[in-house]
Structure 1
Amino acid sequence: MTVAVSWARITGWLAVNHPAMAAMINPPATAVDLRYLQAAVNRPLPGDLVELLELANGTEHRAVRGSLIPTLYNLVPVMEMLSRRQMEQEIQRRVYGAGPRAGEGEPAGRPTTEWLDSFLPIADAWDAGLLYVDLRDGERFGCVWEWYPEGGMESAPWWSGVGQMLEEIAGALVDGRPALRAYASGAVPPEKRLPPQLAGVDDGYLRWSSVPD
């Protein structure tokens, strides 16, 4: 399923079931936005991320009406991607000092305890969590991870890319098919395993909840 098809399914569902959140979706990123993003990260961007930004430049008032992405996340616009990336880079420099990080030489999809320059936030949560794309080289280039400042990254990516993330969100909203099924059943320690997730509107908020695998 293409990014455009998945996004149309998501926004169509929101228009009917949660118009308040639908109204918070920003217009597409401009060509200037995308050139600035490319120059700032100074490395290739995943095609599916670019496709999404050409449809919507994140959202506004992200924590007000629930979470579009499991479990607590909402998309951020280009400039917030870069500001959150810079914030994490500064934290790493204060904690570990300046200089190259060993993880930068690892292929995409390989865990690391440090925030790397090749990580680009795409969504955030009210409790400081981030979802980011891994821009390191390798077969898993563009995979989507979760990061918390106090706990680092998860032991495995949540999705292979933005395209799979959107397809699973669309499936959960429109078809009632739980998201994160592959992650929940993958090579993740049981104590760290996040159950599959389904979403619903509760008291005006879009919320994700665990379902049996």
Structure 2
Amino acid sequence: MATVDEYWQRILNLIEDGDPEFYATFRPPPPPRKVDALERRLRLPIPADLHAWWRCSDGVDVVAAGLRVLIPDSYLPMPIDKVIEWREQLLNIAFLTTNFSDLEYQHLVERYENEPAGTPNGAFWLPSRLPFALNGGGVGLFIDLRAGPLHGCVVPYFRDSAGAHSPRWTSVLEMVTEVADYFEN
């Protein structure tokens, strides 16, 4: 099986040949220190295939990309700065929109955080969820950073059901493989 880097190169070559304007929206890779800083901030390990993803590109300029799609189901990858900003917003919204006391909220977060990666748990955003792609309509994809066999799985989320869904892909590598197949066919 090819690596994330190899699939990314195939994808970028196909986009460059078929849609140069879309290709121009891809941002260069972020400095490695930016990914390392994110990992320190999360205090959770980022899967190797997500590191590989960011070695290839720091997302796309979503405004310039317009209605184009990279990831099936209409998603575009966000730059790391947007990932950090969006994650903080989702965590704040999760806290502010619950009817729990601070202590009840903390216990609920701890309970859900101790479930294995890939386990759906209702409409609740967790610190171990790392958003990385959006479709512009309040729908996105997150990487589940909880421990377990599916650590690093890719899960869709919706505005009102942040954790109610099962993984769409078991890894970034599985996702990028499907993206490459899509662009090749």
| DSSP 3-state at the match of 2:62 | coil
Structure with greater proportional helix content: 2
Take 2:137 and 2:5, find their aligned partners in 1: how far apart are those partners? 30
What aligned pairs does 1:8-47 form with structure 2 within 5 A after superposition?
8-47=9-48
- Residue 54 in 1 paired to residue 32 in 2? no
Greater shift in the superposed pair: 96-105 or 71-80: 96-105
- 1:10 Cα deviation after fit: 0.6
What aligned pairs does 1:66-77 form with structure 2 within 5 A after superposition?
66-77=68-79
- Contact 1:20/1:65 (8 A) holds in 2: no
- 1:65 Cα deviation after fit: 4.1
Query: Which consecutive unaligned segments of at least 5 residues does structure 2 have?
Result: none
- Residue 141 in 1 paired to residue 151 in 2? yes
Relative CO higher for 1 or 2, CA cutoff 8 Å, sep ≥ 6? 2
Aligned with residue 106 of structure 1, among 115, 118, 134: 115
TM value normalised by structure 2: 0.90
Q: Which runs of 4+ in 1 moved over 3 A?
A: none
| DSSP 3-state at the match of 1:153 | coil
Take 2:41 and 2:8, find their aligned partners in 1: how far apart are those partners? 26
- 1:155 Cα deviation after fit: 3.0
What aligned pairs does 1:46-195 form with structure 2 within 5 A after superposition?
46-62=47-63, 64-96=66-98, 97=100, 98=102, 99-100=106-107, 101=109, 102-113=111-122, 114-174=124-184, 176=185
How many residues align? The count is: 175
- 1:9 Cα deviation after fit: 1.1
Task: Kindly provide the amino acid, as one letter, of the partner of residue 74 in structure 1.
Answer: L
Take 1:155 and 1:28, find their aligned partners in 2: how far apart are those partners? 30
TM value normalised by structure 1: 0.78
The Cα offsets for residues 139-196 of structure 1, whole Å up to 9 and x where unpaired, read as 000000001122333531000111111111001111x2xxxxxxxxxxxxxxxxxxxx
| DSSP 3-state at the match of 1:115 | coil
| DSSP 3-state at the match of 1:159 | coil
Identity %: 28
What's the C-alpha RMSD, in Å, of the aligned pairs?
1.3
Take 2:84 and 2:94, find their aligned partners in 1: how far apart are those partners? 15
